[in-house]
Amino acid sequence: MNGFMRRFISIALVLVLVGATVAVAGGRKESADSNVIGISKIVSHPALDAVEQGIQDELAEMGYSFQYDLQNANGDAGTAAQIAAKFRSDRVRVAVGIATPTSQALVQSISDLPVIYTAVTDPVSAGLVESYDQGGANVTGFSDMTPVAEQIELLVELGNVRRLGHVYASGEANAVVLANMARDAARRLGIEFVEATVTSSAEVRQAAQSIVGRVDAIYVSTDNTVVSALTSLTEVANRAGVPIVSADPSSAEEFDVLAAYGFDYYTMGRATGRLISRIVEGESTASIPTQYMTDASDLLLLLNLDVAAQLGLQIPQAVIDQADMIVQNGTVTRK
């Protein structure tokens, strides 16, 4: 081999190596600048669906053109873990967990990509962050801590409640926190607290049947397992003449509960979209503490006058005047 050929081969090898290096570096950069937002929700029900839609609508309105990998764990922790592994492998731009179990799966699986939790009751007790006052190294998000005491007080105002029923998922961290709060609120109000736990949505009907004969009313928190099977609970309760107050007005539009008082989850989705924008634009998750819905307008009161008539209840006019949404003759009217 002559000198010219040796020099040619050497140059070619250098170019190949440089090209490979650029390709690898380019691959990392493409990953870092991925145009995909991964969103994982624990189940599909109106509130969580509203969060998911709100995120997309807000980011579109802000001028972003992200693609979305929308995943539903269908209430299964193993599926939530698989989704988290997929987001990590795909190197999504931001991984978003809607509700506690999917957020936990993302935080446990992903350490080098931004993770945003939303619709999570207590991110500290869920192990997502160490403090409410600051985010984690790659984690921050929104809490939907709901006004439990006010919701139960509303139920007392609507009827003569001496024994309050509550069905909740024992394996859902947010549901356990809210059950403890409901128990404390009932105790302060001098109300007997009658509870039943479930491990899946399939158990909700049986749990409702186990307590409905011993209670004057039932309180439903933002428990995803129970809300995803709310029809089972409302059928049992309404047949027994027992009113239900829910913490989720987004879902209450589609179910026969007497009243619902809580957050507008579409609004929470829009706020989560704005938080994602802050991260995409370079803000550190560690510098962002847990976010809350704090405006009075973020809370909505829904009253179902059809259910009230079915149960033979007369809702005070003062309460009706405060409602943001009224269901009457099968139609939802927004004030």
| CA end-to-end span of the chain | 88
| 265-280 vs 46-61: helix crossing angle, rounded to 10 | 40
What pLDDT, on the 0 to 100 scale, is given for residue 4?
38
The string over 292-311, giving b where at least 16 C-beta atoms fall within 10 Å of a residue's C-beta and e elsewhere, is ebeeeebbbbbbbbbbbeeb
199: how many CB neighbours lie within 10 A of its CB? 12
What pLDDT, on the 0 to 100 scale, is given for residue 3?
46
What pLDDT, on the 0 to 100 scale, is given for residue 20?
36
Q: Which class for 314: exposed (0-12), middle (13-18), buried (19 or more C-beta within 10 A)?
A: exposed
What pLDDT, on the 0 to 100 scale, is given for residue 5?
40
Q: Which of these, 54, 145, 130, lies nearest to 289 by C-alpha position?
A: 130
For the chain (335 residues), the mean pLDDT of every run of 10, in chain order, is: 42 37 32 83 94 98 97 96 98 97 98 97 96 97 93 88 97 93 96 97 98 97 93 97 93 90 94 98 97 86 96 92 94 90
What pLDDT, on the 0 to 100 scale, is given for residue 29?
33
What pLDDT, on the 0 to 100 scale, is given for residue 19?
39
What pLDDT, on the 0 to 100 scale, is given for residue 157?
86
Residue 154, CA distances (Å) to 50, 223, 236, 292, 296 in order: 25, 19, 21, 22, 16
CB contact at 8 A, 263 and 300: yes
For residue 73 the two structure tokens come to 């764990």
Return the HEC string of the chain.
CCHHHHHHHHHHHHHHHHHHHHHHHHHHHHHHCCCEEEEEECCCCHHHHHHHHHHHHHHHHCCCCCEEEEEECCCCHHHHHHHHHHHHHHCCCEEEEECHHHHHHHHHHCCCCCEEEEEECCCCCCCCCCECCECCCCEEEEECCCCHHHHHHHHHHHCCCCEEEEEEECCCHHHHHHHHHHHHHHHHCCCEEEEEEECCHHHHHHHHHHHHHHCCEEEECCCHHHHCCHHHHHHHHHHCCCCEEECCHHHHCCCCCCEEEEECHHHHHHHHHHHHHHHHCCCCHHHCCCEECCCHHHEEEEEEHHHHHHHCCCCCHHHHHHCCEEEECCEEEEC
Q: pTM surpassing 0.85?
A: no
What pLDDT, on the 0 to 100 scale, is given for residue 294?
80
Domains and CATH numbers, the chain: 34-145+265-296 (3.40.50.2300), 148-263+299-334 (3.40.50.2300)
How far is Cα 138 from Cα 160, in angstroms, rounded to an integer? 48
CB contact at 8 A, 116 and 279: yes
